[in-house]
Amino acid sequence: MVERIVATEKALTLINELETKHGAIMFVQSAGCCDGSAPMCYRQGDFYIGSRDLLIGTVGNAPYYMHQSHYTYWQHTQLILDVVEGMGAAFSLESTEGIAFHIHSRVFSDEERAELPTL
């Protein structure tokens, strides 16, 4: 089955480390400017999910939400959560680690797109 969001091994390792340190976590990719368009990692419950935030999948055990308006631009792609060196989003849990979650993407094939459930 095709997934809207997947994660690299490096991202899954960091997710496990953050869960060990902070407990259950979640990801939010809003439609805001600056940090808002980056994947933000929070402890579950530390960010209010709004009525226009869509659950697009999970990475590890962590739910991944994206604002509906932002999803409009990304709906034709599979998101690939990765980790890069450097400072990322200031409020994201990994920001003190000198690394940042980062999104890569690839376009779904017509066959894959037909398999995706509607959000």
**Model confidence at 49: pLDDT above 70:** yes
pTM: 0.92
Query: Rounded CA gap, 34 and 110, in Å?
Result: 32
- List the domain boundaries for the chain: 5-115
Return the closest-CA partner of residue 101 out of 45, 43, 28, 50: 28
Fold topology of 5-115: Hypothetical Protein Aq_1857; Chain: A; (2.60.300)
Tell me the pLDDT tens digit for each residue of 17-39: 999 999 999 999 877 665 557 89
Strand partners for 43: 25
Burial of 100 (0-12, 13-18, 19+ CB in 10 A): buried
Q: Which residue has the higher pLDDT, 37 or 107?
A: 107
